[in-house]
Amino acid sequence: MRGGSVAVVGGSIAGCAAALAVSRGGAEKVTVFERADAELRDRGVGIALHGDRYAELESAGYVAAEMPWAPLTQRVWTVRDGESEYGRGIAEQYFPFRAYNWGSLWSELRRRVPEEVTYRSGALVSAVEPDSDGVTVQLADGQRERFDAVVGADGYRSVVRDAMFPGLDATYAGYIGWRGTSADVADLPHDGKEAHNVAFPGGHCMIYRIPDGFGGHRLNWVLYTAPPESEGLHPDLKTPTSLPPGRLNAALTDHLRALVADNFPPYWAAKVLRTPPETTFIQPIYDLEVPHYTSGRMLLVGDAASVARPHIGGGSVKALQDASALETAAVAGGSWKEILEAYDISRGPVGAAMVALARRMGAAQVENTPDWSAMGKAEFDGWWQDQNSGSDRNSGFGGHSMKRP
């Protein structure tokens, strides 16, 4: 990589981290191609980093204390209990997470990308064409440019992955995440330091506060459930996509609002139902894992390589860890072959383990929900432990540890 040229396809969190990684790894020329024209910081949804994973990534130089965040200390699982305002808590979990606004975290990473990196907004990559010792990037406007290597940081609809493994797409998990944010953070329990999971038959909704990027906070929530099977179901759900407010199916939105009204404690129902429609959207849930993270001079980071259902709480962690592992491989490797092999060996098993764990969590928390209202602490603890069975000692809720025993 030293002295070479690298294209990074995708300029979001994974792409900025990858650009930082290959720059530190010695690439002389780095170009980021981001399809969006607008600033990505406008994406205001919440993400969370486990405290231990944050410490590892801070040590690696990919996150820093000055990045705006909100502390979370515990997670409370709640069910509706008649007209009781807050419902009935069925379990509490230690929850050492740092909550971030996606857009502000992206802004901080974007600011850290070295000035010598070329970041091209509005640059849609339509294809990548590998040869024996490089890759040609073709843009939708017809421009072509050749690089020594290409990093696919372009998400679960990755054009780079399609060149590596044609026809390998993300698979619809059978349910959706209905997401929203609002300014309604007044009177949150426990000063807003708790994450709240409202559980109901067929799913749950996770609610927590995040920074708003301007010194205040917003309420962030995501509700997981299977949509009704009907002729009115939006056909895009079963193909890799997301549905912004303007494309939400009215019947599906009505169904989700009725679900909240019928199953949430009044306090939490009001928080969700008062969310402005323009800040809500549908995120179909997918699974994806690849045979390898590299092929020839092409490699993948973040969701382009593997998509683990969000229940694991480690998607952004994995993208940043991928970048850190790429930097490590680049610094240590004496050739492109050594770099790519080391990176694949480092990250491939991690991605597969996270996808498997997230599938188990999705099955337990959405697809085959228990009778939440009948649970006591012992029953809940056993149910939670069953989801983590089979995980190695370095992997679990919150993401995979980069440290080794």
Spans of all domains in the chain: 5-46+105-170+288-388, 70-103+172-286
Q: At residue 178, what are phi and psi to the nearest 5 degrees? A: -95, 115
Q: For the chain, state the CA radius of gyration.
A: 21
- Residue 161 one-letter amino acid: R
Geometric angle at alpha carbon 315, from 311 and 318, rounded to 5°: 135
Q: How far apart are CA 76 and CA 197, in angstroms?
A: 6
Residue 236 pLDDT exceeds 70: no
Share of the chain above pLDDT 90, in %: 74
The SS3 assignment for 78 reads strand
Per-residue confidence at 242, pLDDT binned at 50, 70, 90? low
Residue 393 pLDDT exceeds 70: no
CA-based torsion, 232, 236, 241, 243: positive or negative = negative
For range 81-107, the mean pLDDT: 92
For range 340-361, the mean pLDDT: 94
Domain boundaries 70-103+172-286, CATH class: alpha beta
Q: Which of 223, 250, 240, 319 lies closest to 284, judged by CA?
A: 240
Geometric angle at alpha carbon 203, from 201 and 207, rounded to 5°: 120
Specify the residue for token string 């002729």. Answer: 231
Helical segments of 221-335, H only: 250-263, 266-273, 315-332
For range 169-196, the mean pLDDT: 92
For 267-283, the pLDDT digits (tens) are 999 999 999 988 898 88
Mean pLDDT of the residues in the chain: 90
For range 232-261, the mean pLDDT: 74
What is the predicted pLDDT for the residue at 213? 81
Residue 228 pLDDT exceeds 80: yes
For range 215-228, the mean pLDDT: 94
By the 10 Å C-beta count (0-12 exposed, 13-18 middle, 19+ buried), 372 is classed as buried
What is the predicted pLDDT for the residue at 203? 97
CA distances in angstroms from 102 to 123, 153, 293, 304, 309, listed in the order given: 21, 16, 25, 18, 17
Which of 101-110, 209-218, 339-348, 371-380 ranks highest by mean pLDDT? 339-348
For 286-323, the pLDDT digits (tens) are 999 999 999 999 999 999 999 999 999 888 999 999 99
Q: How far apart are CA 226 and CA 201, in angstroms?
A: 11
Q: Of 62-66, 72-76, 293-297, 390-394, where does mean pLDDT reach its minimum? A: 390-394
Share of the chain above pLDDT 70, in %: 92
What is the predicted pLDDT for the residue at 177? 93
First-to-last alpha carbon distance for the chain, in angstroms, is 30
For range 176-197, the mean pLDDT: 92
Domain topology for 5-46+105-170+288-388: FAD/NAD(P)-binding domain (3.50.50)
Model's pTM, two decimal places?
0.92
Contact 297, 163 (CB under 8 A): no
Q: What is the token pair recorded at 256?
A: 């989700």
What is the predicted pLDDT for the residue at 405? 40
Which of 42-56, 229-243, 260-274 ranks highest by mean pLDDT? 260-274
